[in-house]
Structure 1
Amino acid sequence: MGTALITGASRGIGLAFARRLAADGWRVHGCCRMPEKARALKDVEGDVECHRLDVTNGLHLRALGRELADEPLDLLINNAGIFGPRGGFGRIAYEDWLQVFDVNTLGPMRVAEAFVRHLERAESPKLINLSSRLGSIAENDSSGWHLYRSSKAALNMVTKCMAIDLAPRGVVVAALHPGWVRTDMGGRSAPVVPDDSVDAMLATIDRLGTDDSGGFYASDGEPIPW
């Protein structure tokens, strides 16, 4: 077991990660924008701390980095994300597009830069970016959802760059697609519950080695084409 930091940990997939890791004996730093409303996260049994963190806010990141300055991180999960408006060609909300990129693409990079020193203190650190199959260019045969798709395609490139950047520091980096999960974002008709998605992803994360770094994988570890 070890220490994990999870962004977007107050609900959905992030909350499921916090519960499962804490149940397995991990020390968990669960981050969310409004801790005062994160009752479910605060109620998780085990060694769990709830922190205020907006991944678009550099002051939050620096403050949390200082707070955890002496703590190695074995696992960092960049889970925080937003979908944004679903309009396609001819109905693009450009200001919203910038916000989606700020959270989904720039956010994970900010978090990685803020906590890389914590990761490199661990014995076998891993950094996981929660991506989406919708970000696969090769598999896009329906268009639509331009904002979210493009932010996740860009995150995949960021993941590959991170893997190269952090290889000398011993950090394994990967992008994972959690599946179509029944969350506020995924909707009630999604076929996968958060606990099942997290169980599959954690099994995949456990298997990831240096040769897998920089890859894009489904929750079960199957490679997804870029």
Structure 2
Amino acid sequence: MPDHKTVIITGANRGIGLELARHYAAEGWAVIGVCRQSSSELEEVAARMIDGVDVTTDAGIRKLTEELAGQPIDLLINNAGLLQDEKLGSIDFDSIRTQMEINAYAPLRVAEALVSQIPSGGKIANITSRMGSIADNDSGGRYGYRASKAALNAFGKSLAMDLKPRGIAVAQLHPGYVQTRMVNFGGLITPEESAKGLAARIEGLSLENTGSFWHSNGEELPW
């Protein structure tokens, strides 16, 4: 990839976000990592870090836009996320609200704040989950996570439609069941494998398939 290409990755300090940062840095992109708390691993690969950013708050979004003022963005990856569990009979609605803020509202906040800096030909990738698929839900539970990812999918689809005339493509991408701290490292694939698949889906994203919902392995997922 040309050296001038710039990717913004939220939640880039660990897990899938960190592996995406490593992948794009190795491909010659200028990686800007956005996170609440940086990591030495991210410092090794990022061209620039913007830490201390809580993307669920007005202040966090304001800091982000101030730090990125005038910066063209070729690719925005909304990766920051939170998985918690709620069971019927003891549902914690504060937990659901928190997941909605982080998993759904924050990516929309970031996209709205930065979209004016994404040129025609640019892309937005929302890291969602197949658990946000209503058609695919055959096990129940996880009320907040499922609902927040379904909301993110709806936001992403609307973004895709609104931004298509501006030449910006948007995808909703499921990373797979990945061995990260979020699932106590009990996943089926490594973060490296996930990042490679996600990058391939992003590479294949175009205005023709904008708004689609994909597994990192290339499978198109049901809504």
Which residue in the other structure is 1:159 paired with? 156
- Which residue number in structure 1 is paired with residue 92 of structure 2? 93
Q: CA separation in 1, counterparts of 2:187 and 2:220?
A: 22
Gaps of 5+ in 2: none
CA contact (8 A) 2:160 2:211 kept: yes
**SS at 1:13 equivalent:** helix
**Out of 189, 200, 203, which is 2:197 matched to?**
200
Residue 65 of structure 2 is matched in structure 1 by 65
The alignment-based identity, stated in percent, is 45
Instruction: Kindly provide the CA deviation profile for residues 89-136 of structure 1, in whole angstroms up to 9, marking residues without a partner as x.
Output: 11110111111100000000000011101113xx51010000101111
Aligned to 2:17: 14
Q: Distance in 2 between matches of 1:165 and 1:69?
A: 23
Match of residue 40 from structure 1 = 41
SS in 2 for 1:222: coil
Deviation of 1:55 (Å): 1.1
Query: Which moves more between the two structures, 131-140 or 161-170?
Result: 161-170
Task: Quote the offset at 1:188 in angstroms.
Answer: 2.2
2:211 alignment partner in structure 1: 214
> Separation in 2 of the partners of 1:170 and 1:200?
24
Equivalent position SS for 1:42: helix
Cα displacement (A) at 1:221: 2.5
Which stretches in structure 1 are left out of the alignment for 5+ residues? none
Deviation, structure 1 residue 166? 1.1
Asked if the contact 2:180/2:186 (under 8 Å) is kept, the reply is: no
Cα 1:67–1:188 change in 2 (3 A) is: closer
The alpha carbon displacement at 1:50 in A equals 1.0
Q: Give the 4+ runs in structure 1 shifted more than 6 A.
A: none
**TM-score, normalising length: structure 1:** 0.93
Per-residue CA deviations over 1:2-31 (Å, capped at 9, x if unaligned) read 100000000000000111101111001101
Q: Does 1:170 align with 2:171?
A: no
Instruction: Report whether the alignment pairs 1:187 with 2:184.
Output: yes
Does residue 49 of structure 1 match 2:48? Answer: yes
Query: Within 5 Å, which residues of 2 pair with 1:132-143?
Result: 132-143=129-140
Count of matched residue positions in the alignment of Structure 1 and Structure 2: 219
Match in the other structure for 1:116: 115
Task: Supply the distance in 1 between the matched residues of 2:139 and 2:127 (Cα, whole angstroms).
Answer: 22
TM-score, scaled relative to structure 2: 0.95
Look up the SS of the partner of 2:182 in the other structure: coil
Q: Is the 8 A contact 2:50 2:67 kept in 1?
A: no
- What residue number does 1:82 align with? 82
Q: CA RMSD in A?
A: 1.2
Moved more, 199-208 or 5-14: 199-208
Q: 2:220 is matched with which residue?
A: 223
